Amino acid sequence: MHIKVKLKGSSVTIDPMVFSVKHGNHPIKWKMKDDSDQFDFDNPPVTFDNANAPMSTPTPHGSSADSNDSNQNSSANGVDYTYHVHLIDPSGGKITYPPLHDPCDTADPAIRNEPK
């Protein structure tokens, strides 16, 4: 399963907003949703709010990006690592979703590391 990113005009949606990852090492891929406007991922394509998120540095590949999650979560609950995607629209404009300083306090998408 992939995380699907959709751009329509300047509006971005991410599905699923919370992507669950089992214990262990797992690839994560963000890719353009089929009915999206054209875009490329910027460099960096994804940034995590927690500098200690157990993810490898995300790599852009045009309309997709990937990373690797080394989920070693041993707590009783899932741990969420919120992130932002960085896109380049067809006109060369840069879009960050959710905005880094969101006045609307939009819920951030997250990678949820499930416990062992």
CB within 8 Å of 34: residues ≥ 6 apart: none
- The CATH number of 3-113, from 2.60.120.590, 2.40.40.20, 2.60.40.420, 3.40.50.150, is 2.60.40.420
Contact (Cβ atoms closer than 8 angstroms) between residue 113 and residue 21: yes
pLDDT at 102: 63
Helix (H, G, I), strand (E, B) or coil at 57: coil
Each residue of 56-102: pLDDT tens digit? 999 999 999 999 999 999 988 999 999 999 999 999 999 999 987 76
C-beta neighbour count of 12 within 10 angstroms = 21
pLDDT at 116: 86
Residue recorded with tokens 């910027």: 42
| Bridge partners (DSSP) listed for residue 68 | 27
Domain boundaries, the chain: 3-113
| Bridge partners (DSSP) listed for residue 37 | none
Each residue of 17-35: pLDDT tens digit? 999 999 999 999 999 999 9
